Amino acid sequence: MEITETCGTLSFPEEVDLSNGDAILEQAIRLLDSGTPALILDLTGCAFCDSNGLNVITRSQMRATELGVPMWVVLPSRGIVRQVSDVAGLQRRVAIAPDVATAREALAAAAHR
C-alpha cells in the first residue's frame, strides 16, 4: 500500500482468492476512508484472480463512488487476470489503465479540469 499526496495505490498480491479477498478489500476501504484523494488498484503483479478479486474491485468502486473519489484499476494487457476481467465486463464499471503511470496521468489530468 502506497499513499502519496495525489493518490493511494494498493498493489494486489500474486493470487487473489477466497483466502485473501476480504483482507485486500479491507485495505482498499481503509485507504478510501482515510481521505485519499484518488485510488489506484494495481493488478500488475497479480497472476491469478477469481471472483473474489473482482468483488474487491467492484466493492472498492462502490465505496469510491460514495465518497466521490476517482478510482483506476491497472490491468496487464494479457493473461488470465485480464481475461477474467474482460469476461466479467469490468471495463464497463471501472476505469482501466495499462500501467500505474498512465493511471496517475489520468488522475492528474482530471484534477486539473
Q: What are φ and ψ of residue 39, in 5° steps? A: -130, 135
Q: How far apart are CA 53 and CA 35, in angstroms?
A: 23
DSSP state of 1: -
For 8-54, write each residue's pLDDT tens digit: 999 999 999 999 999 999 999 999 999 999 999 999 999 999 999 99
**Can you give the pTM of this predicted structure?**
0.92
For 44-100, write each residue's pLDDT tens digit: 999 999 999 999 999 999 999 999 999 999 998 889 999 999 999 999 999 999 999
Q: Domain boundaries in the chain?
A: 2-111
Fold that domain 2-111 belongs to in CATH: Transcription Regulator spoIIAA (3.30.750)
Task: Give the closest residue to 104 by CA, choosing from 41, 49, 28.
Answer: 41
